[in-house]
Structure formats: C-alpha cells, structure tokens
Amino acid sequence: MVIKKTKKVKKSTGEIIPKPSKIKEVAPLEKLLQKSDVLLMLYSKNKKGYFYYSIEPEDEITVYELLKENKTEKKSLLILLDTSGGNVYSATKIMDTLRCFYDNITIAIPQEAKSSGTMMCCGADKLIMSSISELGPLDKPMAHPDDETAQISALDIVKSIDGMINMAMNKQKEFAKDLKSENSLTPQKSLEIAGNSVSQLISPMLCREDVKIYNQAKRLLAIAETYGSEFLKDNMLKYIKNDKLRDKISHMTIRQLVWLYPDHAFAIRRKELRDWFFIIEDAEKVDYWDELWKEYKKTIGSSGKVIKFI
C-alpha cells in the first residue's frame, strides 16, 4: 500500500498540516491491461488432464466477433492459451485474424499448447512458459483407418509404409551383395533376383495398407509443414534479419516439429524451444503471472471452454 501525504488547513490556527491518505496499488495485470489486451483461450479439462474440448471452427467466429465488439486501439495482445489442439485450419485462421488487429502477440502457456496450439505459438512473437508448460509435435492427428472413433498420428501411417519400403530397399541391396559374392553373379542379375525375392516378402504387407489413407496422411503433414514454416518466418523468427538464414532455420525447426519427434504426446519444453530459436520468457520472472495462473485454475475441473477478453 502506498501512503500519500495531502495538505489540510487547521481551522483554529490556519496552520496547514499533512494528512496521510491511502492509495490503492495497481496490480501487475491491471498495469498490463493499460497497454495490452488479454484474451483467454482456455479449453477445460478434468483433474486427470483430459480435455473436454478442442479448437474448432466455431472458435474462429467467437474470436472474430469478440474483436469486432472490443474495438481496441491497443496494438499488443497477450493470449492465455491452454489446449490439446484441434482443427489446424481454425488455429491458423484465428492467428491470421488476430494479426489483422495486433502488431505484437504474446502467448502465455500455463500448462499445454499442443498440436494446433503449437501452430498458434509459431505465429506469436513471444511465449511465456513455466517449468510445467509444454508444446507438442505438429504431426497432425487423423481418424484411425480401422476405427473412426479413434485418432492416430498421420506420421505413424506415413512412417509405417515408408519404413517397410526402406526396409525392402536395404534388404534388396544386402541380398544382392550376398548373391554376387557367393554365386559369382553379375551385379544386374543379383539385383534382379534379390528384388524379386524381397518383393514377394514385402508385397503382402503393403497390400494391407490403404494408399488413400497414406496419401491423406502425407497431405496433412505437408499442410502442417507449410503453415508452420510461414508462421515461423513471419512472426516468431522475424527477429532474424538475414532472409536466407531465417528461411533455413524455419525449415529446420518445422521439420523437427512435424517429422522427428517419437510420439504425438511428446512434451516440448522451454529449454528445447530456445534451442530452436523461439523467444521464451520465464513465467517465474513475469510479475502478472500469478494473476494469469488464477484465471487458468478456474477452468480445471469445469466442462466448458473460456474464450473472452479480460
């Protein structure tokens, strides 16, 4: 509490005496709101961490209408985001829409911004993360080919087929080499015999796979790679002024996010994101973090989702 002295005239003597008065101290979040808007995008989950909702097309409309009603002149926005992901097109359009109104966007992650939430983070200028905050891979989930009610990573489908093809090629080379050395065959003849043998082995496995499902998975991964690379170059990595260097780092980073993590649920933490040139501010050093955390805690155990300006 700040004590401010004010002047008061004593009636009997005309003497001016100071009188202490109490002025309420401005809270850190209130200070932030003087220069930046704060948007909550909190997708509630139960106490075991399972989300009830994901990012959906209706959220695009909600954010768009909120922006029309807000009529702000502020050019900075902070998004408090907690989500397991959802529709990648909706996540992309939400960030595109927000970019029409704000020059600078920070995303604060209390716990999770996975999958399409990670895509949104690629389109921010800065992230605020605590020791329990995490992003996730961009290996797009899709309907399981054997169970439409379940989901599978598109990367699992692509890797399973590509893995069989790579295995077949390696086995063909190894078998051809053995045939050539043991039977004095020409390289061409040994490759022909090895190819036929490996083809008989691998064909039954490949025939069980649906080519349409494979192509769908490849397209989804290409979409994630395209949107993610664009967001990184235009936003998160725009501080890298050399265009060629920025393009190269964006390509390397998005390839890592889409193709190289072992599991869709993999937790990508702030230290690793810094290694990939993301701008990260530690939540422990942010004075308004405790107030943001309280907003997040309100949604745990509830069954709705909160999309609104503070």
Tell me, what CATH number does 217's domain have? 3.90.226.10
Given 156, 187, 209, which residue is the final one in a domain? 209
pLDDT digits (tens, 9 = 90+) for 163-213: 445 555 655 566 567 666 666 667 777 667 666 665 655 555 445 555 567
Domains held by the chain: number: 2
pLDDT digits (tens, 9 = 90+) for 138-169: 976 655 555 555 556 655 555 555 544 555 56
Sign of CA dihedral 246, 249, 253, 259: positive
- 95 and 179 inside one domain: no
H or E element at residue 135: strand 134-135
Domain assignment present for 10: no
Please, are residues 198 and 175 in contact by the beta-carbon 8 Å criterion? yes
Domain assignment present for 4: no
pLDDT digits (tens, 9 = 90+) for 249-283: 999 999 999 888 888 889 999 999 999 999 999 99
Given 189, 209, 229, which residue is the final one in a domain? 209
pTM, entire model: 0.76
Domain that holds residue 259: 28-144+213-309
- 199 and 293 inside one domain: no
Instruction: Give the neighbor-by-neighbor strand order of the sheet with 104-109.
Output: 280-282, 126-129, 104-109, 76-82, 37-43, 305-309
- 242 and 114 inside one domain: yes
